[in-house]
């Protein structure tokens, strides 16, 4: 990077400004051609500056100034109106749509999956109260063909101890 030269290149003679006023006045007094008048060249009427402000304001007309806004708000108004129209249109379209769902609309597989994977915390006694027993025959249960492997799998999964199988210990 280039170094900046701090010296301007101009120099004043030594003690030049110390006696500047005296030397200027000596030169002016020695020259007779240049005469500075002792009296001011312009005169101002009496109380001119006291009434100047009033005279100027009387001459000026009070016209309202036209203000041009720097920021136009029209685009904001149009966007707000467009948003309101879209919302109104959306609400109007969806207001007429009423959908009635019924149990027939749900697939049986969805109901089975819900019951199977949701922990309903019903005991076998509570389920027995809800299931209609009037139309059941013992032959319906026996004809279902429960095989031995399913019974063993059920007992292994759901039975904590074999003491629960001992029905004699329970008092009914």
**For 119-140, what is each residue's pLDDT tens digit?**
778 787 887 788 777 777 777 7
Q: Would you say 28 and 34 are in contact if contact means Cβ atoms under 8 Å apart?
A: yes
Interval 24-30 mean pLDDT = 79
> What are the CA-CA distances from residue 140 to residues 66, 70, 103, 108, 151 (Å)?
97, 88, 27, 22, 18
In the block, tokens 């919302």 appear at 87
| pLDDT at 95 (0 to 100) | 76
| pLDDT at 36 (0 to 100) | 65
Confidence class of residue 152 from pLDDT cuts 50, 70 and 90? confident
More confident of the two residues 167 and 18:
18
Q: Is the pTM of this model over 0.75?
A: no
- The helix/strand/coil state of 93 is helix
Confidence class of residue 33 from pLDDT cuts 50, 70 and 90? low
The DSSP element (H or E) to which 30 belongs, if any, is: helix 20-30
| pLDDT at 87 (0 to 100) | 93
Three-class SS string for 47-68?
CHHHHHHHHHHHHCCCCCCCCC
| pLDDT at 86 (0 to 100) | 94
**For 62-98, what is each residue's pLDDT tens digit?**
777 788 777 778 888 999 999 999 999 988 887 777 7
Confidence class of residue 22 from pLDDT cuts 50, 70 and 90? confident
């Amino acid at each position: 990077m280039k170094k900046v030269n701090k010296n301007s290149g101009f120099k004043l003679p030594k003690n030049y400004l110390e006696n500047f006023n005296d030397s200027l006045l000596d030169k002016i007094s020695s020259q007779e051609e240049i005469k500075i008048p002792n009296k001011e060249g312009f005169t101002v009427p009496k109380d001119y500056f006291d009434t100047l402000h009033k005279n100027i304001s009387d001459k000026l007309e009070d016209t309202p100034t036209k203000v041009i806004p720097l920021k136009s708000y029209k685009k904001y108004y149009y966007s707000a109106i467009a948003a309101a129209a879209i919302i109104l249109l959306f609400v109007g379209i969806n207001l007429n749509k009423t959908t009635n769902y019924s149990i027939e609309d749900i697939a049986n597989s969805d109901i089975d999956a819900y019951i199977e994977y949701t922990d309903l915390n019903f005991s076998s006694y509570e389920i027995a109260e809800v299931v209609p027993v009037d139309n059941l025959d013992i032959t319906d249960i026996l004809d279902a063909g429960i095989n031995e492997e399913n019974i063993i799998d059920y007992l292994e999964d759901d039975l904590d101890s074999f003491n629960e199988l001992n029905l004699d210990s329970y008092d009914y």
